[in-house]
Amino acid sequence: MKIFDEIASLERAHDVRGRRHTVLAGNLANADTPGFAPLDVDFDAAMAATEAAATEAAATEAAATERATSGTAVSGAAERGFDATAAAIATAEELAGRAGLDGNTVDVDKTMIALAENGLQYGAAARAAGKKLNILRYVASDGLG
Amino acid sequence: MDFFSALRVSASGMAAERERVNMASSNLANAETTRTAEGGPYRRLDPVFESVVLDEAQGATGVEVAEVRQGSAEGRPVYLPGHPDADQHGFVRMPDVSAVHEVVNLLSAQRGYEANASAVETTKTMAQRALDIIR
In chain B, domain spans: 3-132
Calculate how close chain A gets to B81, using CA atoms only, in Å.
39
How much is the average pLDDT of A118-123? 94
CA neighbor of B14 nearest in space, from B128, B129, B132, B117: B117
Q: Provide the percentage of residues in chain A whose pLDDT is more than 70.
A: 81
Contact A28 B60 (CB under 8 A): no
Contact B123 A116 (CB under 8 A): no
**pLDDT given for residue A74 in this prediction:** 45
CA-CA distance, A74 to A60, in Å (whole number)?
A: 6
Give kind and range of the element (H or E) at residue B61.
strand B60-70
* Residue-averaged pLDDT of chain B: 92
Contact B116 A83 (CB under 8 A): no
CA-CA distance, A10 to A4, in Å (whole number)?
A: 10
* Residue-averaged pLDDT of chain A: 83
Lowest mean pLDDT among A60-64, A122-126, B20-24, B123-127: A60-64
How does A48-81 read in b/e, with b if 16+ C-beta sit within 10 Å?
Answer: ebbeebbeebeebeeeeeeeeeeeeeeeebeebb
Contact A22 B56 (CB under 8 A): no
pLDDT tens for each residue of B79-96? 999 999 999 999 999 999
Put simply, whether A12 touches B (Cβ < 8 Å) is no
A34: pLDDT strictly greater than 90: yes
Q: Provide the percentage of residues in chain A whose pLDDT is more than 90.
A: 37
Calculate how close chain A gets to B100, using CA atoms only, in Å.
17
Calculate how close chain B gets to A41, using CA atoms only, in Å.
9
ipTM for this model? 0.81
B105: pLDDT strictly greater than 70: yes
Contact B123 A14 (CB under 8 A): no
Put simply, whether A106 touches B (Cβ < 8 Å) is no
A130: pLDDT strictly greater than 80: yes
**pLDDT given for residue A144 in this prediction:** 81
**pLDDT given for residue A91 in this prediction:** 86
List CB contacts (< 8 A) between B12 and chain A: 29
Put simply, whether A26 touches B (Cβ < 8 Å) is yes
CA-CA distance, B105 to A75, in Å (whole number)?
A: 52
- pLDDT band of residue B1 (cuts 50, 70, 90) is low
Put simply, whether A136 touches B (Cβ < 8 Å) is no
CA-CA distance, B1 to A16, in Å (whole number)?
A: 8
How much is the average pLDDT of A59-65? 75
- pLDDT band of residue A4 (cuts 50, 70, 90) is confident
A67: pLDDT strictly greater than 80: no
List CB contacts (< 8 A) between A31 and chain B: 13, 112, 115
Highest mean pLDDT among A95-104, A134-143, B95-104: B95-104
- pLDDT band of residue B134 (cuts 50, 70, 90) is confident
pLDDT tens for each residue of B41-75? 999 999 999 999 998 888 899 999 999 999 988 88
In chain A, which residue's Cα lies nearest the Cα of B130? A126
Query: Which of B51, B112, B123 minimises the CB distance to A21?
Result: B123
How much is the average pLDDT of A68-78? 50
How much is the average pLDDT of A74-98? 69
Handedness of CA A96, B110, B17, A23 (dihedral sign): negative
**pLDDT given for residue A21 in this prediction:** 94
**pLDDT given for residue A73 in this prediction:** 47
Give kind and range of the element (H or E) at residue B26.
helix B3-29
